[in-house]
Structures are given as C-alpha cells and as structure tokens.
Amino acid sequence: MSGPSPTLDLVGIGIGPANLSLAALLADRGGLRKVFLERKKSFEWHSGIMVPNARMQVHFLKDLVTPVDPTSPYTFLSFAVEEKRLYRLLVSGRTHIPRREFEQYCRWAADRIDDLRFGVAVDTVEFDGDAFLLRSSHSTMRARNIVIATGLQPWLPPCAAGHAPDRVLHAANLLDVPRNLAGRRVAVVGGGQSGAEVVLHLLRAGEQRPSRLLWGTRRGNLFPLDDSPFVEEHYLPNYSRYFHAQPPERRALLNEQQRMSSDGVSAGLLREIYQQLYDLELVEGVARPCDVMVGHQLLGIDQQRHDLLTTWRSADGELVRRHVDVVICATGYRHGLPPVLRGLRDRMPDELPPVRADFSLEWDGPADNLIFVQNAARRDFGVADPNLSLLAWRSATIANSLLGEKRFDTGQVSGAVDWVHADDQLMTGTHGD
Ligand SMILES: Cc1cc2nc3c(=O)[nH]c(=O)nc-3n(C[C@H](O)[C@H](O)[C@H](O)COP(=O)(O)OP(=O)(O)OC[C@H]3O[C@@H](n4cnc5c(N)ncnc54)[C@H](O)[C@@H]3O)c2cc1C
C-alpha cells in the first residue's frame, strides 16, 4: 500500500449521474486539482434493474448540465448530434427517452471527461486535522474537500432478511445474474415505479413468464406519479431553496404530502400493465396472469420444505397467506448518512447532520474543509433531491461553493408559483385559502 499522495482540492466519491454532472461542470475549467472515484470498472446506471423498455421519468433536457450550462460539450443534445440520432429523436416525438439511452449518454460523457477513476472503492474517510484521508484497497488520498455521491442503499423489509438471495431479493439485483422464472410462483412486493417495472417485465417474459405472479402493495391502490404542472414546480430550484428554509417539522410534513410526485408510478407504465393484463387474460385466455393485492402489507416470509410461505395483512386486518418460490422486493432505498462517512460519525451532531444551502454537511471540523453530499438530503431539500430534475443545479451550487465564485447562475428562475411570497404570507398570516 502506497503512502498518501499530494493533497487535492477535491475528491468525489461515487460516479453515478450526480458526481458525473459535477465532473462535467468542472471539466476543462482548471482551477481545482480534483479526481472522482468509482468502485465499478466502468460507468453503469442501476444495471441490476435495467429492464428493457424502461423509460426515464424526466425530460431528456434535464441532463447532466443543460439547465445550468447549455453550451457545455456534455449536453444530451451534443451526444445525440454526435451519435447522429437527433433528427430521429425529434421525429419520435419523445421527451422521456429509454433509461438505457440515458445510461449510454452518461457513458459517452464519462469517456470524454478527465479526472474520473473507475475500479476504486473508497472504504473509509478520516480527517487528519488538515485534510480528509480517503482509504481504498490500493491507496490513500488526501483532499481538502470531498463530495459524496454514493447513491442510496436498497432497503429490504426485516422479514426479507436471512433468506437465500436467489429466493428473496431486492429488485435492484434482479438482473445481476441470469434468472429463469419460467413455471415459478413469484411475489413482487411494492407498488412504486420499480415494482411496476418488474411486474411488466415478468408479464412480458413470454416463455419465461412465471406460472403465477402476485403483486402486493400496502398502498391503497397503484397510484400514479403526479407530474402535473404545478406539482412539477416542486422540482424547480426556487422551490428547493424555499423548502430548505422551512423548519424541520414542516419539511417532514411537506415531504409526506408530496410523496406521490416522487414515489408514484408513471401513468404510461400503469396503462401498459393494465393493457398487458387485459391481453393475457381476455384475449389469450391466461387464467389470472397476476394477482394484484393492493392494501396488503408483507409481514412474513417463512421458508418451508420447497417453497416460501408469505403472510400479508390486508387493510381490514385480515391475514392472507400465499405460497411462492421467489420474492422480489421493490421496497425502495434507504436515505441516510452515506456509509463511507462512518469514520467521521463522531464529528457529526446527528445520525444525518443538517445539510446547508450549498449541500455541505454541518460537521465538527474546519470551515474550509467541506463535505458535500449529493442525493442524501431529501429531508433538507425535498422530493427533488433524489430526482434527476435538479441534478445540474445542485452540482452547479456545489461547484460555485468550491470555486468560491458564482461561476454558474443558480439563482431564482421563472416559476408560476411565488414560493417565497407564499411563505411570507404564511408567516404574516395574511393568506386566504
Ligand atoms: C432504477 C432507478 C431508476 C431511476 N430513474 C430515474 C428517472 O428516470 N428520473 C429521475 O429523476 N430519477 C430517477 N431515479 C432516481 C435517481 O435519479 C437515481 O437514483 C440516480 O442514479 C442518482 O444518482 P447518484 O449519482 O446519486 O447515485 P447512483 O446512480 O446510485 O451512483 C452512485 C455510485 O457510487 C458508487 N459508489 C458507492 N459507494 C462507493 C464507494 N465507497 N467508493 C466508490 N464508489 C462508490 C456506486 O457504485 C454508484 O456507481 C431512478 C432511480 C432508480 C433506482
């Protein structure tokens, strides 16, 4: 193991879309000595659940850079032009491209941006009094500032723990290994976008379609993603800043109220599933191709001799039991302190310290050593934080803070709702209904 290298101005940990966006904004600009590290060998985006035909949930112009730096060489439009597909894209009339295409675009950008190192997993981050030490299996790096963008951890319900991973798995790992589910009884848990994508994927598997499919969600129905125009304003910089200025209890309430603008299922996907069920059952004569169990919470999974006994509680308290062979949990992701920061935990006031307006964490360390987080601040910035809509704006905010100047315009944009004004009225009690 080699000794510490010279101190860099910035090390980014994780190269998903978030840090790729920051790397793209800082590329070719000089000024900072920096490197971004990724444990995977090359750029990949949620490859374990990259089911065919999955579409993006945001417009393709909400790419790595366009909303803050439209003349950057790393825009989606530059990619489309260079790949000679822009005209066809326009003819297709699509605004929401396939997820595979977004991954191709990110890979294209990653191939062109310097300062990215793949195949380096950072194990721990420590602080030596002057700089951060980032330890990986092959080296220790020193950095004045760090940007953590290691993504969210898949979350499994407690009853799903301890089973063989080929029998009970998280949807994030569905495609990690080849799986033949033909003739098997499969339960999909979770009524959000991932659960819906997995269900459609299985219904369309042809010869490999499971013999029985059960889709359970504790939600009262399979609710659509609310991306109607005024709700979409929650995904504007103005709203994020407004949200950040609210007291913690109000932010928690708003996040709960706005859940379906982030955790619902794309309406087009729900329609595709509905039509697929119609075709299979009523046209092709397949008996009940999927048991849709809304209002059912998974309580237990018991390994029996050859199969798994799943127990669900319905909304009216009734216990329902179903035998299956495989359980796929599309049960979301855990928001919290990124695991790589565990080594600094005793320098932080809370389990997840407050995140400042420039996306740096409050921590007990020198003011000029900053720890930025990307996609770890839903509590502080609202439902837009894990979404790609404000990816470029958040990176630009971090870049400005690192550069110590307003290199990118991250101020108010035009919006139909005046969030700051609404807040002022709330404070003074002058608002009506
Ligand atoms: C299946 C899926 C589809 C989504 N689709 C959309 C969408 O259409 N629109 C939208 O707005 N949002 C979408 N999201 C939400 C969000 O945009 C994505 O989760 C996005 O990938 C977040 O980017 P990220 O860079 O923060 O994290 P990630 O993409 O998860 O990247 C984190 C990276 O960090 C690496 N890493 C982790 N730990 C270490 C370490 N210790 N050392 C080095 N590297 C490390 C990981 O290998 C990974 O490559 C989707 C989320 C999922 C799960």
Q: Where are the alpha helices (DSSP H) in 113-260?
A: 193-203, 229-232, 237-244, 248-257
Instruction: Classify residue 429: in a domain, yes or no.
Output: no
Q: Within this chain, do residues 182 and 298 fall inside the same structural domain, yes or no?
A: yes
Same domain for 59 and 123, yes or no, is yes
Distance 45 CA to ligand 1 centre (A): 7
Residue 243 within any structural domain of the chain: no
Same structural domain, 206 and 171: yes
Give pLDDT, residue 29. Answer: 77
Residue 127's Cα: distance from chain center in Å? 28
**The CATH number of the domain where 378 resides is what?**
3.50.50.60
Residues 165, 64 share a domain? no
Q: Is 219 helix (H, G, I), strand (E, B) or coil?
A: coil
Same domain, 163 and 219: yes
pLDDT at site 428: 40
Cβ pair 370, 214 in contact under 8 A: no
- Residue linked to tokens 């319900």: 157
Distance CA 297, CA 319 (A): 10
Give kind and range of the element (H or E) at residue 401: helix 391-403
pLDDT in tens, 139-195: 999 999 999 999 999 999 999 999 999 999 999 999 999 999 999 999 999 999 999
Nearest CA owner, ligand 1 atom 13: 387
Domain count, the chain: 2
Looking at residue 421, what is its pLDDT?
58
Interatomic CA distance for residues 325 and 330, integer angstroms: 16
pLDDT at 31: 81
Residue range of the domain that includes 308? 155-225+263-329
Whether residue 221 sits in one domain with residue 106? no
CA of 149 to the centre of ligand 1 (A): 8
Please report the DSSP string for 29-75 in residue order: --S--EEEEESSSS--SSGGG--TT-B-SS-TTSSSSTTT-TTSTTS
pLDDT, residue 426, reads: 45
Domain identity same for 173 and 306: yes
Which of 284, 301, 329 is the C-terminal boundary of a domain? 329
The residue contributing the CA closest to ligand 1 atom 45 is 14
Question: Would you give per-residue pLDDT tens digits along the chain (433 residues)?
Answer: 455 578 999 999 999 999 999 999 999 877 899 999 999 999 999 999 999 989 999 999 999 999 999 999 999 999 999 999 999 999 999 999 999 999 999 999 999 999 999 999 999 999 999 999 999 988 999 999 999 999 999 999 999 999 999 999 999 999 999 999 999 999 999 999 999 999 999 999 999 999 999 999 999 999 999 999 999 999 999 999 999 999 999 999 999 999 889 999 999 999 999 999 999 999 999 999 999 999 999 999 999 989 999 999 999 999 999 999 999 999 999 988 899 999 999 999 778 899 999 999 999 999 999 999 999 999 999 999 999 999 999 999 999 999 999 999 999 999 999 987 554 444 443 333 4
Residue 201 lies in a domain: yes
Same-domain check for residues 134 and 177? no
Give the separation between CA 366 and CA 127, rounded to whole angstroms: 10
CA of 212 to the centre of ligand 1 (A): 31
What is the reported pLDDT for 419? Answer: 86
Last residue of a domain, one of 329, 356, 372: 329
- Would you say residue 251 lies in a domain? no
Residues 21, 101 within the same domain = yes
Residue 291 included in any domain? yes
- Atom 16 in ligand 1: residue holding the nearest Cα: 387
Q: Among positive and negative, which fits the CA dihedral 352, 353, 354, 358?
A: negative
**Position 188 in a domain:** yes
Burial class (CB within 10 angstroms; exposed 0-12, middle 13-18, buried 19+) of 432: exposed
Domain assignment of residue 167, yes or no: yes
- In this structure, the answer to whether residues 101 and 146 fall within a common structural domain is yes
User: Is 161 in the same domain as 102?
Assistant: no
Ligand 1: residue whose CA is nearest its atom 53: 46
C-alpha–C-alpha distance, residues 382 and 177, integer Å: 34
User: Are 185 and 325 contained in the same domain?
Assistant: yes
Give the position of tokens 């504007």.
Answer: 236
**CA-wise closest residue to 137 among 119, 114, 152:** 119
Of the residues 294, 329, 364, the one at which a domain ends:
329
303, two tokens? 């390994």
How are beta strands 371-373 and 140-148 bridged, if at all? parallel
Domain assignment of residue 206, yes or no = yes
How many Cβ atoms are within 10 Å of 138's Cβ, its own excluded?
10
Coil, helix or strand at residue 238: helix
Query: How far, in Å, from the CA of 291 to the mean position of ligand 1?
Result: 31
Residue 104: exposure state from Cβ atoms within 10 A (0-12, 13-18, ≥19): middle
Instruction: Read off the pLDDT of residues 92-129 as tens digits, 9 standing for 90 and up.
Output: 999 999 999 999 999 999 999 999 999 999 999 999 99
